[in-house]
Amino acid sequence: MAKNLTGTLQIVTANRLRDGSVVFLTQTAEWTSDIRRAAVARDGEAATRLLGIGTVAAAESRVVDPYLTAVTGEGDDIMPVSLRERIRAQGLTFAAISADATRYL
């Protein structure tokens, strides 16, 4: 499944080095697990700049494999274009069994 389908609006995502969790680059160059706080690039130049910040974070061993991915909307309305990225942002599409469960569902 494509990671970065084309689109006008793009964000930078990566996995956090120490725990592998999905993170998004914010306007203040922090990494958040909340996609609604992701900085949205509106054109190619802004996207390149954002990715540059991500690449520096990877070089500093804070995140792994930063890349651009297309989204629609912003803030509360933000939604990745590809299903792969929606699953990364929102988690599994089914309910996983819990540690103490002896039955599924």
Partner 1 sequence: MYRYDEYDHAFVAERVAQFRDQVKRRLAGEITEDEFKPLRLQNGLYLQLHAYMLRIAIPYGTLSSKQMRTLAHIARRYDRGYGHFTTRQNLQFNWIKLEDAPDALADLAKAEMHAIQTSGNCIRNTTADHWAGVAIDEIEDPRIWCEIIRQWSTVHPEFSFLPRKFKIAVTGSPNDRAAVRVHDIGLRMLRDENGEPGFEVIVGGGLGRTPMIGKTIRPFLPKQHLLSYLEAILRVYNRYGRRDNIYKARIKILVHEIGAEEMRRQVEEEWEGLRDGALDLPADVVAGIGRHFAPPRYQPQPTIATETERLRFENRDFALWLRSNVVAHRQPGHAIVNLSLKPEGGPPGDASAAQMDAVADLADAYSCGEIRVTHEQNLVLPHVAVADLPAVWRGLTLIGFATPNLGLVSDIIACPGLDYCALANARAIPVAQRISQHFADLARQHDIGELKIKISGCINACGHHHVGHIGILGVDKNGTEFYQITLGGHAGDDVSLGSILGPAVPADQVVEAIDSLVRTYLAVRQDGERFLDTYRRVGNTPFKERLYATA
Residues near partner 1, by CB under 8 A: 1-2, 5, 15, 17-22, 58-61, 64-65, 81-84, 87-88, 91-94, 96-105
Q: How far is the CB of 87 from partner 1 (least distance, A)?
A: 6
Question: Judged by CB, which is closer to partner 1: 28, or 92?
Answer: 92
**Smallest Cα–Cα separation from 8: which of 66, 67, 71?**
71
Q: How far is the CB of 71 from partner 1 (least distance, A)?
A: 13
Question: Judged by CB, which is closer to partner 1: 49, or 84?
Answer: 84
Give the residue ranges of DSSP H helices in the chain.
44-59, 83-90
Distance CA 79, CA 57 (A): 24
Q: Are 66 and 48 in contact (CB under 8 A)?
A: no
Q: Are 24 and 35 in contact (CB under 8 A)?
A: yes
Chain-centroid distance, C-alpha 42: 16
Q: How far is the CB of 102 from partner 1 (least distance, A)?
A: 4
Question: Judged by CB, which is closer to partner 1: 15, or 46?
Answer: 15
Question: Judged by CB, which is closer to partner 1: 27, or 34?
Answer: 34
